[in-house]
Amino acid sequence: MSQVDIASISRQPQVDTSPVSEIVLRTRNLTKQYKQRTVVNDLNLDIRRGEIYGFLGPNGAGKTTTIRMILGLITPTSGSVEILGSDILAHRSEVLPRVGALIETPALYRYMSGRDNLLAFSKALGGVSSKRIDEVLAIVSLTERQRDKVRTYSLGMRQRLGIAVALLQDPDVLILDEPANGLDPAGIVEMRDFLHRLAAEGKTILMSSHLLSEVQQICSRVAIINFGKLITETTVKDLTTGKGEFTVKVERAAEALALLKRQPWGQSARLNEEGDIVTSSPNGKGRELNAFLAQAGYVADELSSTRYDLEETFLRLTEGHSGN
């Protein structure tokens, strides 16, 4: 995939930030066909102000194509993208300055220092104050290393410098395609802390990833797509929490299980690999389940909401298929 021309995305003059609705980025029935092949299929996404929204899917699922349509780099076959209340294609020049983007590896000059890279991009944008350059260097924690050549930077530092470029015009929305790609665990933690800081300042962040553990740690909400279609858009918490099920550690588990299975609400009760009971509760609440078991003489040692690993959930939802 090609690098994004950040300069062309943000070359337009800055406009006033007027009050906007809670949904900062919205796609409606977004569809892209190449010949007869539908690679993005009727996609409806709603991204809210200040959230870090994970856009997840296996290779070839249509993430980059969607991001390119969101940025107005390619035209949808049908459907629309609204950013900050305006249609991206109809109001490009007002909208794009408020959007910063980084698509895969940033296009940086490796023989120049970090600061000189920012100066070069700022010239392409029509000039950004030296104060703003200091600010973005501080935001991405590169102040100390700003005079060093980019070729001496780690991958994580280069990713952060790429994000610094995207931040030069102080955009409201940041769109990052695979920002954690190739980072080691320490780099991922750095990236996570850094994105949380940006979100806390009110930036809205859309990041794509196939690193599920990463999305689980960083994002508050996620959309999962496969074959260009939305499979689910939900909170990470909901995705990893069993739908109203509880895991119970109790003595004489087999007996307790038999009792539960005789209840109308407990028919799907089962034992997990650890020999603990996984079951629904009489009214969806853990307290009621606890009381029921205790009254029947099975006092629980532990009772918790059943959690699922995001990776398992993702594989189950996408059935491990690749869209390629």
Ligand X SMILES: Nc1ncnc2c1ncn2[C@@H]1O[C@H](COP(=O)(O)OP(=O)(O)OP(=O)(O)O)[C@@H](O)[C@H]1O
Binding site for ligand X (CB under 6 A): 34, 39, 57, 59-65, 210, 323-324
Q: How far is the CB of 116 from ligand X (least distance, A)?
A: 30
Q: How far apart are CA 33 and CA 62, in angstroms?
A: 11
* Closest separation in Å from C-beta 57 to ligand X: 5
Report d(CA 259, CA 298) in Å as an integer. Answer: 10
CB atoms within 10 A of CB 22: 8
Distance in Å, CB of 176 to ligand X, minimum:
13
User: From CA 73, how far away is CA 81, in angstroms rounded?
Assistant: 12
Complex with ligand X: residue 34 or 111, whichever CB lies closer: 34
| The two three-digit tokens of residue 127, written as one number | 């000039």
Question: Minimum CB separation from ligand X for residue 231, in Å?
Answer: 13
Closest CB to ligand X among residues 62, 162: 62
The least distance separating ligand X from the CB of residue 71, rounded to whole angstroms, comes to 13
Asked if 282 contacts 288 with a C-beta cutoff of 8 angstroms, the reply is yes
Using the minimum distance from each CB to ligand X, give the nearer residue, 63 or 160.
63
Which of 34, 83, 44, 39 minimizes the C-alpha distance to 63? Answer: 39
Nearer Cβ to ligand X (88/269): 88
Give whichever of 68 and 98 is closer to ligand X, judged by the CB atom.
Answer: 68
Please count the other Cβ atoms lying within 10 Å of the Cβ belonging to residue 146: 19
- What are 28's strand-pairing partners? 80
Q: Which two tokens stand for residue 212?
A: 């599920």
Task: Provide the 3-class DSSP secondary structure of residue 50.
Answer: coil
Cβ 220 to ligand X, closest distance in Å?
21
| Amino acid making up residue 23 | I
Q: Which is nearer to ligand X, 58 or 97 (CB)?
A: 58
CA dist 25 and 15 (Å) reads: 18
